[in-house]
Copies of this chain bind each other. A is one copy, B any other.
Amino acid sequence: MKERIYSDQLHNFYNKEVLVKGHLYQKRVLGKIIFLILRDSNGLIQCIVEDEVEKEKLKSIMDESPLEIEGICKEEKRAPGKCEIHNPRIKILSKVNEPLPIEINKPVINANLDTILDHRAISLRNLKLRSIFKIQSSMAQAYREYMTSIGATEIFIPTIVGSATEGGSELFQIKYYDRNAYLGQSAQLYKQMAIGSFEKVFSIAHSYRAEKFGTSRHTSEFIQYDFEMGFIKSYQDIIDTGINVIKYISQYINKVNKEDIDSLEVSLPTLPKKIPQIKLKEAQEMIFKETGLDERSENDLSPEGERQISKIIKDKHNSDLVIITHYPTSKRPFYTMPDKDNPEDTLSFDFILRGEEITTGSQRINEYDMIVAAIYKKGLKVEDYEDYLEIFKYGMPPEGGFGMGFERLTQQLLNLSNIREATLFPRDVKRLRP
């Protein structure tokens, strides 16, 4: 039997008999010829149908029919992949009986996002939408490749937890046998528990927040890249790792997914050798000075503030990424290390990429008495953290880490307007399907 050839390899088989497979992407009748375009996992394949028997088979064929085609591969500069299949013999592998609910064989699907998501299994066959998730798959490989290269161990954390991990009320409750449990908000406590053994750990894990409002940058279930590292010299070690991994991912997809990125007509962010890093207070001053927006008495940047500081930094330093540090204790989770020089502030940071926060991290408290006091101070219950507290009793080195939103990063790298476009099957207050 002939080996099956993928679209992007056909240029190696000119004037040879080949077998190709894929879904019917388009059919055009031009006089006595039918141009049939097949979509396989790697691209498009043009076939020229002239034979009457073969044309008869195509009479009532519907778009997306899965086909197997044998024919001769001919060089054709104007065709996709610079190749054309002549004298095709077509086999229809399964029947499509009705037209598609949305038209997917155009560059852009002419439907709103909700419709696209309702029909995700079908809309995903659109080339541009497919490109987003091919890039996302590579991003995950790149993240792991980088993490493995620095000696980090991948850990698999549980998503069912007995109590809130970070405090807060945005929890989904589970009926867990005879008691209640919750869906975990983050890998935080687990990755901290693991560094006493592995020193550097990473995970790619689901996190859950029962967000009551649907925004373009929040969903109820999302993937988080997590990293945690012991024996740090300072929180700068964590920031540097975060910067390096983003640069690595960006370079990786720029190499591996060149065509996907081109098809989306986006440019990847500009990431200079030295990424600007400023304290929150300085950022607030800068924003006020440059735009008049006064957030100087706030303990965080507003979404508008994030956009403005990003713009200022882009203009001044030609960087799409800016690191904001030293958020106040009141704004950060209990485990965040206060700044010795000014205990109202923390050794914490956010990464703002193209106007939106994509990463948050800090040095962590690593002394037992201090972490217990911090839990009390936030009004949380120490007994909920009994297992977690063991690590502080039995030796915790200076350490820190970050969490990076996987869909958020995809969104910002590819300039997508809604995080749902970067989520294969999103979940939110309204959406629980497909």
A contact set with B: CB distance below 8 Å: 1, 4, 6, 21-24, 40-42, 62, 64-66, 68, 93-98, 100-101, 118-122, 124-125, 129-130, 133-134, 136-137, 140-141, 144, 148, 151, 153-162, 172-177, 179, 181, 183, 190, 193-194, 196-200, 206, 208, 210, 212, 220-221, 223, 230-231, 233, 366-368, 387-388, 390-391, 393-398, 406, 424-427, 429, 432-434
Please state if A429 and B177 are interface contacts (CB–CB under 8 Å). yes
Most-contacted residue by chain B among A62, A97, A221, A394 (CB, 10 A): A394
Contact of A140 among B100, B154, B424, B434 (CB under 8 A): B154
Contact of A173 among B21, B137, B174 (CB under 8 A): B174
Residues of B within 8 A of A101 (CB): 390
Please state if B125 and A197 are interface contacts (CB–CB under 8 Å). yes
Please state if A174 and B176 are interface contacts (CB–CB under 8 Å). no
Please state if B121 and A176 are interface contacts (CB–CB under 8 Å). no
Contact of A119 among B199, B212, B220, B390 (CB under 8 A): B390
Please state if A66 and B160 are interface contacts (CB–CB under 8 Å). no
Residues of B within 8 A of A96 (CB): 393-395
Say whether, besides A196-B23, A432-B160, A93 and B427 are in contact (CB < 8 Å).
no
Residues of B within 8 A of A153 (CB): 41, 133-134, 137
Pairs across A and B, CB under 8 Å, 25 listed: A4-B231, A22-B231, A41-B198, A41-B200, A94-B367, A101-B390, A120-B387, A121-B194, A121-B387, A122-B391, A122-B394, A124-B196, A125-B196, A129-B197, A133-B153, A133-B155, A136-B154, A136-B156, A141-B148, A155-B424, A156-B223, A156-B424, A159-B159, A160-B432, A190-B424
Contact of A179 among B21, B134, B155, B432 (CB under 8 A): B432
Please state if A424 and B194 are interface contacts (CB–CB under 8 Å). yes
Please state if A434 and B388 are interface contacts (CB–CB under 8 Å). yes
Which 3 A/B pairs are nearest by Cβ-Cβ distance?
A387-B434, A41-B199, A121-B193
Please state if B125 and A221 are interface contacts (CB–CB under 8 Å). no
Report Cα–Cα, A397/B122, bound state, in Å: 14
Residues of B within 8 A of A424 (CB): 155-158, 190, 194
Residues of B within 8 A of A64 (CB): 196, 394-395
Residues of B within 8 A of A396 (CB): 66, 94
Please state if A94 and B196 are interface contacts (CB–CB under 8 Å). no
Residue of B nearest to A127 (CB): B197
Give min CB distance, A251 to chain B, whole Å: 17
Report Cα–Cα, A220/B178, bound state, in Å: 14
Say whether, besides A125-B196, A395-B65, A41 and B151 are in contact (CB < 8 Å).
yes
Please state if A427 and B154 are interface contacts (CB–CB under 8 Å). no
